[in-house]
Structure 1
Amino acid sequence: MTPSTDSLAYLRLHAAGTHMETGIDFLFAQDHGARVNAVQRSVDFACNRLIRHRDLKQADSENSLSVQVCDMLTSSGIKATHDAAVGGHCDILVEGKDDFLWLAEAKKHNDYSWLDKGFQQLSTRYSTGVPGQDHGEVLIYCKVKDAKAMLNKWREELVVRNPEVNTSDGPCTDLLFFLSNHKHESSGLDFKVRHKVVSLHWEPKDN
């Protein structure tokens, strides 16, 4: 190993399991798939931080929560922009090497029509669907009980409202996200979306 690779290995070893590891992986990723993986893991860290402090997030708006996610991604080394102009005003945008572009549309869960609007914005307004720009996310801020049940219902609604969409489980069926895939209207290529629910319900019963 060269001194530079020794230093990188040392850095990754000490950053393992932290949000900084995702930034390192994004920076040194050699392909788009590795960049998508790093961004999704960084989003997971950011959302877990929101959930941990959900008692302080009850009055936060969609925009406020999304800005916080962007800030946490940027602190990991993945520069994220809120309200970026890309076919409209996208909630979360990440750019990278080789024309990499990853987009997320965030919605507070009010009803399933509102979530479908976010999916349509992501799929038909903001995204290009070309190689390296063919992944996105619908991020759902959920303050109702049983986020998993809400996500399952959204998965059903998504297919009913968009029959061309196929869905699948993530690596573990108990995780609070699922995946969807459909042909992008502009590029004609597969467009892949992760639908992630952020469980912000907080109703303590000790009073």
Structure 2
Amino acid sequence: MNKPEFSVAQLRREVDGRPTAATIDYMLAQNHEARLAAVQKAVDFACNELEQHKHKKQGLGEDALTLELCSMLKMAGFQAVHDKDVGGHCDISIEGKDMFLWLAEAKKHSSYSWLDKGFQQLATRYSTGVKGQDHGDVLVYCYAADAKTKIQKWRGELESRNSDVKTEDSCSNPLQFFSKHIHPSSGLDFHVRHKAIALYWNPKDK
């Protein structure tokens, strides 16, 4: 029996909208922009897995949740590592071709000073800010209700605590926003996606 043959374009159409699409995009990426887009897509799928099963995640701490994210990213073909020594012990790092490096700090929403600590760790401790290593995520685990309001308040806090940081809306997801500032080491723009992961669970059917 002959095996079906697919062109790359046909394969992309077959997996469009599925987690596999992020894997293929990353494997075939020819530049840092494409690698970044694939990583962010994969992270979105992994975070949504946590959200879909939030009833089983209640009470889990930052490390446990982050390890789950890393495991999902590894299974998807990304070189994801938890607590790797990259200028310190970064929550999530993904390395790729041509010295590509994406980093993330994951924090449970408890106080805005705690979230700012995660941002400062990412922006001033772990990252290099050089080309191909100038993007990262702050992932916010929201066990409290109304993740949208929480991420909006964090945006205001981020700007008030860091006068050099500029933010902008996300066109694709109201539970995230983007920030940009000059990296203190490289002098280049450093970009951060701030993403809320909605884990509040309080069913009213009983």
With structure 2 as the length reference, what TM-score do the two structures score? 0.95
Amino acid of the structure 2 residue aligned with 1:204? P
- Find the counterpart in structure 2 of residue 120 from structure 1: 120
- For 1:155-184, what per-residue CA distance to the aligned partner results, in whole angstroms no more than 9, with x for missing partners? 000000001000001124x52100000000
Q: How far apart are the structure 1 equivalents of 2:157 and 2:116?
A: 8
Q: How far apart are the structure 2 equivalents of 1:46 and 1:6?
A: 27
Counterparts in 2 of 1:152-163, with a 5 A limit?
A: 152-163=152-163
Q: How far apart are the structure 2 equivalents of 1:74 and 1:19?
A: 12
Counterparts in 2 of 1:1-207, with a 5 A limit?
A: 6-172=6-172, 175-207=174-206
SS in 1 for 2:98: coil
Q: How far apart are the structure 2 equivalents of 1:40 and 1:145?
A: 24
Amino acid of the structure 2 residue aligned with 1:63? D
Count of residues in correspondence between the two structures: 202
Q: How far apart are the structure 2 equivalents of 1:66 and 1:41?
A: 17
Q: CA deviation at 1:7?
A: 3.6
Q: How far apart are the structure 2 equivalents of 1:181 and 1:13?
A: 33
Q: Which runs of 5+ in 2 are unaligned?
A: none
Q: How far apart are the structure 2 equivalents of 1:197 and 1:13?
A: 29
- Determine what percentage of the aligned residue pairs are the same residue: 57
Q: CA deviation at 1:14?
A: 2.2
* Native 8 Å contact 1:167 1:178 kept in 2: yes
Amino acid of the structure 1 residue aligned with 2:185? S
Amino acid of the structure 1 residue aligned with 2:34? A
* Native 8 Å contact 1:20 1:77 kept in 2: no
Q: CA deviation at 1:18?
A: 1.0
- For 1:141-166, what per-residue CA distance to the aligned partner results, in whole angstroms no more than 9, with x for missing partners? 00111100000000000000001000
Q: CA deviation at 1:6?
A: 4.5
- For 1:43-74, what per-residue CA distance to the aligned partner results, in whole angstroms no more than 9, with x for missing partners? 00001110000000012110111111111111
Judge which range, 120-129 or 5-14, deviates more. Answer: 5-14
With structure 1 as the length reference, what TM-score do the two structures score? 0.94
Q: How far apart are the structure 1 equivalents of 2:15 and 2:60?
A: 30
SS in 2 for 1:98: helix
